[in-house]
């Protein structure tokens, strides 16, 4: 198990509910909620995965699907990243209440905000950055990444580095000078 602090999520959310229509917990405890990368295409968010992967939150866990932004800044205990069913999978097990230094920070890198990037080119990220999912279509891209403090990614605007913001283990992606 590894602690992961959430900085941001990908654009694409969906749910899978329990199969038993008579189960009163079908839409709560028996549900699973998923997050990944996606790009807006008309009125829909579509996965243009070049690196397939997703995050999973179980309905019985400490995640409220009605208010996913409440998980921003929270640290979760996660199972180790696995590759199954053709893509990366990261299971969020439970929220960690005490403030301890996480192993990784989870963040979404969007080309609209940080500049264009191409994860197929070598040298676009530091070695320890772990891409969970990447969607890319033409000049637009979104990547869901696990990063450690000091890790960086290269975009058309320059190099972005993950830096500590305060003593509570908050971090932010910052454009480096020069």
Q: How far apart are CA 92 and CA 177, in angstroms?
A: 35
pLDDT of residue 116: 87
For the chain, 178 residues long, give each residue's pLDDT as a single digit of tens: 899 999 999 999 988 876 777 777 666 666 789 999 998 888 888 888 899 999 999 876 677 777 888 889 999 999 999 998 889 999 999 998 886 789 999 999 999 888 888 888 888 999 999 999 999 988 889 999 999 999 999 998 999 999 988 877 789 899 986 5
The answer to whether 58 and 78 have CB atoms below 8 angstroms apart is no
pLDDT of residue 106: 97
pLDDT of residue 26: 64
Q: How far apart are CA 142 and CA 164, in angstroms?
A: 23
- 164 beta partners: 171
pLDDT of residue 28: 64
Going edge to edge, which strands form the sheet with 171-175? 152-155, 158-164, 171-175
């Amino acid at each position: 198990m590894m602690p992961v602090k959430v900085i941001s999520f990908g654009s694409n959310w969906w749910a899978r509910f329990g199969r038993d229509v008579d189960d009163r917990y079908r839409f709560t405890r028996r549900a699973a909620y998923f997050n990944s990368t996606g790009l807006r295409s008309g009125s829909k968010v579509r996965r243009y995965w070049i690196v397939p992967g997703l995050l999973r939150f179980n309905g019985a866990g400490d995640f409220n699907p009605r208010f996913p932004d409440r998980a921003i800044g929270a640290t979760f205990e996660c199972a180790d990243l696995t590759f199954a069913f053709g893509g990366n999978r990261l299971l969020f097990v439970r929220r960690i209440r005490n403030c301890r230094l996480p192993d990784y920070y989870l963040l979404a890198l969007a080309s609209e905000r940080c500049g264009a990037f191409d994860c197929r080119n070598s040298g676009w990220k530091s070695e320890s950055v772990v891409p969970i999912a990447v969607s890319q279509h033409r000049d637009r891209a979104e990547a869901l990444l696990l990063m450690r403090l000091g890790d960086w990614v290269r975009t058309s605007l320059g190099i972005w580095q993950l830096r500590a913001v305060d003593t509570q283990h908050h971090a932010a992606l910052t454009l480096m000078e020069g």
